[in-house]
Amino acid sequence: MAIVINSATGEIDLNATTPGTYKVTYTTNGSCPITVDNTITINALDGATFAYSSNSLPQTGTASLTTTPTTSGGVFSAYPSGLSINSSTGEIDLANSTIQSYKIFYETSGAGCPNSSTFDLAVTAAGIANNYSMNFDSASSDYIDFEIIDLGVNCTVSMWFKPTTSSTDYVLLGSSSLGYNYLVRYISPNLWVSAGAGAYLTFSIASNIVVNSWNYLAIEKTTDTVTMYLKNQNGEFSQSFTDGRILNVSWSLDRIGARSVNPASILFNGQIDEVAAWNTALTSTQIQSIYDATSTNLTKDLTTVSGSNLVYWKRMGD
C-alpha cells in the first residue's frame, strides 16, 4: 500500500495511489518547526469494466456480457441510437438492432466512488447459408472461367481457400490482361500479386497460410498501394506495399484456380469458396466484418457490405 504525494505541494496522485487510509504529515520549515498530521482515506473507484464475446456481432439472437462490472446496479446505454440494449443487464437484442457501429457505456451509481467504462461494438449483417465450396484437384481442366471483369484502379478481391497439399506453386486468381496472367499466386514461401504488365509484388505473409484449413484472403488496391489481409486460425496478418508500378493500373479477373493461359497451368489443389470483387477499395473494418460474420454453415451476405460496390460474387455452389 503506497500513497504518491508531492512533498512540496501536498498534491496526491490519486491514479497512482493504492486505495487505503494514510496519515499525511506536514512539517514547517524554520527555527520553530511545527508538525501537523492529517488522516486521509483513498477509496477505490467502482468496478465498471465490462465486455462482450467480440467487438463485431451478427444481427441475430442476443448477446450477454462475458465480463460483468464488479459494481452492480449501474446503467448501460449506447450511442448512436439503434442498439436494443437492456439498461440494467447489458444484454443486447441483436436481431432488433440496427446494423452499424456503437459505443456502449456503463455508469455506476450509489454510495461508492462513481466510475464508467466503454466498449466498442459493431452489429454486422447476419450470415447466410454456406453449405458448399468447390474442390480443385489440380487436374488440367479443373478451374473456373468467366467473362473478364475489369475492376478498375481502386478495387478489392476477397476469397476463402483451403489448400489440401503443401504445393510450392499455385494460382488462386487468374487474369488474362495482367502480367504473367494471374492476379494472385503463391510461390513458396510468399504470395505474389500482379502489379501490371510484366511486374509483380511479393508479400511475405504467405508463410502464415494454413494447409488443410480455411484461410481468408482479401486484397485492397488503390492508385499506389496494395494491402493484403490474411486471416485464419493462427491469427490475422496484413502487409501493405506502395509501388509506382501499380499507379493507375486496372486489375481484372477471368479465372479461378489457375493462370489465364491455355492450356491452363499452375493449378490450385484444394477448396475455394465465396470469391468476390468490388470496384472500390474496402476499408480494413469492412474486410474484418466479412471475416467476423462467418460461422458454421454461414457466411456474410456480401451485398450488405456498407458503402461498397460489389461487381462479382461466385458462391461456389450455394
What are the 10-residue block averages of pLDDT along the chain, 318 residues in total? 86 86 87 88 91 88 93 96 96 91 93 90 85 87 92 96 90 94 94 88 89 95 94 92 90 96 93 96 88 82 81 92
Query: Which residue range is the domain that position 22 belongs to?
Result: 1-43
Question: Which residue in 253, 259, 268, 187 sits closest to 219, CA to CA?
Answer: 253
Distance CA 225, CA 223 (A): 6
Query: Are residues 267 and 285 located together in one domain of the fold?
Result: yes
Do 136 and 116 lie in a common domain? no
| pLDDT score at 307 | 66
Q: Does 103 map to a domain?
A: yes
Give the E-state strand segments of 43-181 in sequence order: 56-58, 62-63, 75-79, 92-93, 101-107, 116-124, 127-129, 134-137, 144-152, 155-163, 169-174
pLDDT of residue 311: 95
- For residue 286, the model assigns a pLDDT of 87
143 and 264 co-located in one domain? yes
Residue 292: predicted pLDDT:
81
- Cα 262 to chain centroid, rounded: 38
Same domain, 74 and 134: no
Give the span between the Cα atoms of 210 and 212, in whole angstroms.
Answer: 7
- At 199, is the secondary structure helix, strand, or coil? strand
Residue 58 in grid coordinates: 451478427
Q: Please count the structural domains in the chain.
A: 3
Residues 78 and 111 in one domain: yes
Backbone angles phi, psi at 90, to 5 degrees: 80, 0
pLDDT score of 117: 97
Last residue of a domain, one of 80, 99, 124: 124
Residue 51 lies in a domain: no
Q: Is 4 a domain residue?
A: yes
Question: Do 298 and 228 fall within a single domain?
Answer: yes
Q: Which residue has the cell 493504492?
A: 18
Q: Give the model's pLDDT for residue 306.
A: 67
